[in-house]
Amino acid sequence: MIYKHLLVAAYVITLLSSCIDGAYYENSSTIPNYSWSYDDIQKFEVNIDDATVRYDMYINLRHSADYNFSNLFILLHEKGKGLKDTAYRKEIVLAQLDGRWLSNSAGGVYENQYLAKENFTFPDTGKYEFAVEQNMRENPLKDIINVGIKLVKK
């Protein structure tokens, strides 16, 4: 029961901090049973109203202290007007060489924000879809709580 309260508190803190940092778009999905399978691709649709603005894109990730790896490989898919349907493989480093987690924690939940794309523009206005797929050898991948994206205007 305490674990659930800590998760709710961490989620509220995340929401409040996202309001402060000026995110243009931020959304995340909860991974059912904290067990992320290959076919559970997390999709996010973004409406872009100004193609001249530059953005930074972050992958937001929350995992438990029981996560078995020091990193996470993902595939970041993107498609939309003027973009090729593309997938980029990214490594998110989660722990130091000595095993200490690199991120902030609250009650055994660790929150990471990974800069996936920097200072980029969209080719046109309209709807764009981003998707995050786990790309580790283990399937399903245990102890991943949330995955999301955030776009910040420059």
Domain ranges of the chain: 2-153
pLDDT of residue 7: 44
From residue 42, how far is each of 35, 38, 109, 121, 142 by CA, in Å? 13, 10, 20, 22, 16
CATH architecture, range 2-153:
Sandwich (2.60)
pLDDT at 16 over 60: no
pLDDT of residue 66: 95
